[in-house]
Structure 1
Amino acid sequence: MSETIFVKHEEGGSIAEKVLRRIRFDIITNTLKPGDRLRLERLRETYGASVSTLREILNRLAAETFVVAEGNRGFGVAQISQSDLRDVCEMRLLLECHALRRSIAVGTIDWEARVVSCHHKLHSVESRLIGGDEALVMQWVQYDWDFHHATVMACDRPVLNATHSNIFGRYMRYHLNVLDFRGRPAADEHARLRDLVVGRDADAAVALLTSHVTAGMEHIISSGKIPA
């Protein structure tokens, strides 16, 4: 998956890959909502792919758990729940903490610069959100991904990186279902994480990341918008 999860029309790849990215994007951003039936004829009209290609795509998305196969009823968008969110967060931490340690161990100065640059954009949006500009929440979710991805992008384990991207996409789906920013505590944690990562303090960075992701999860649950 591209680092820019929110890119709906990404260059490159086959028609099937492009349609796969578009449908995944629409699920993550709740254009296709939890529980929606995915009727092949309607999808064919919307995404311009053949029924056989769409069936292949939906099977791939089912393997990624964005979609569920409903036997003879076809496919539907996977439901969301508090228990699933907790499971996703546990897996995110397992993968991201490992990738963060590896990146801190092998990252170059160019990697450090990328972390700082991505945090600068994130901080800019967070400052405006704290100032009351709530219309920027979706952009904040994108920049939050960009920053967290930057901290682990030096990890030289392709399978780990791809799995982490998938899990982060599932986590973002919850963020975008709630569309609420945790406020200054989250912004302060991002700034400290930047400093710890660039300072190569792996133990402290992992500890902060763990508390940061856990607090974000609890904030999403406390919104009351995620079914038990």
Structure 2
Amino acid sequence: MFGRKTQDSDTVVRLIASQLRRDISVGVLAPDTKLKIDELRQRYGGSAHSFREALTLLASEGIVEASAQRGFRVASATQSDLEDISRLRAEIESLGLGWSIKHGDLRWEGEVLAAFHTYSKLCMQTDADRQAFAIEWDEAGRHFHTTLVAACRSPRLIGFQDRLFTQSRRFRYAALVEGSIDLAAETRGLGEVVEATLSRDADRACELLSNQILGALTR
């Protein structure tokens, strides 16, 4: 009975965290916004305890900042933040892709192809209506990049990659809506990454992926 209660509470926390994470990613909760638990409860529903747990979880992901004196607030999103996140993403994802190419099997290759197919299709749809498909596009991009490193045999690297991608989502979403992402060019670039990956050309695949991620700094 107690185990079920704990499990239900954990589910509520994850759901709240998911909603807050999405609203931070799409700018509904803007950078540096103070996150007052009473106001959040009125907006989303849920207990004060659940929101504290959810905000603590998001703080561990780096998209919320916690202070004993000032409570919680949305993390900043400056150009310096983007540069730091992008450079780390380029290093971590390239490393993970290299290890995945070394260890990945045919099933992993199929998953990479499927994830890229979904993402490329959503890039085409999103290019026609960036507001309508932005969230689906973002999720498909996250899944594709996660799949690239999924066979690296390092849970810690996978966790770090996921955290960095989560931190990058606000910048990607803003760039998409502002029209500064060339979705056709991104699709072509990632297609080259996939081609090199399936050819098991780790050096080329990692270089292409790194360049693709660092392209965010020149938009």
TM-score band by shorter chain is: 0.7 to 0.9
**How many Å separate the matches in 1 of 2:135 and 2:125?**
13
Q: Match for 1:214: what amino acid?
A: L
Give TM-score scaled by structure 2 length: 0.85
CA shift, 1:128, in A, is 4.3
Distance 1:21 1:190, change over 3 A: same
Instruction: Establish whether residue 17 from structure 1 lines up as the match of residue 19 from structure 2.
Output: no
**How many Å separate the matches in 2 of 1:51 and 1:97?**
40
CA displacement 1:162-207 (0-9 Å, x = unmatched): 1111110111111112323323321211111111111111000011
Give TM-score scaled by structure 1 length: 0.82
Distance 1:167 1:12, change over 3 A: farther
RMSD of aligned C-alpha atoms?
Answer: 2.2
- Give the alignment of 1:103-114 within 5 angstroms: 103-114=100-111
Runs of 4+ in 1 over 4 A off after TM superposition: none
Partner of 2:32: 35
Distance 1:127 1:162, change over 3 A: same
Distance 1:52 1:145, change over 3 A: closer
Distance 1:144 1:12, change over 3 A: farther
Q: Unaligned 5+ residue runs, structure 1?
A: 1-10, 220-228
- Give the alignment of 1:72-83 within 5 angstroms: 72-83=69-80
Q: Which structure has the highest helix share of the two?
A: 2
CA shift, 1:48, in A, is 3.0
Number of residue pairs aligned between Structure 1 and Structure 2:
208
Partner of 1:183: 183
Instruction: Establish whether residue 211 from structure 1 lines up as the match of residue 211 from structure 2.
Output: yes
Q: Unaligned 5+ residue runs, structure 2?
A: 1-7
**How many Å separate the matches in 2 of 1:16 and 1:37?**
19
CA shift, 1:149, in A, is 1.7
Contact 2:115/2:144 (<8 A) preserved: yes
Partner of 1:50: 47
Percent same amino acid among aligned pairs? 28
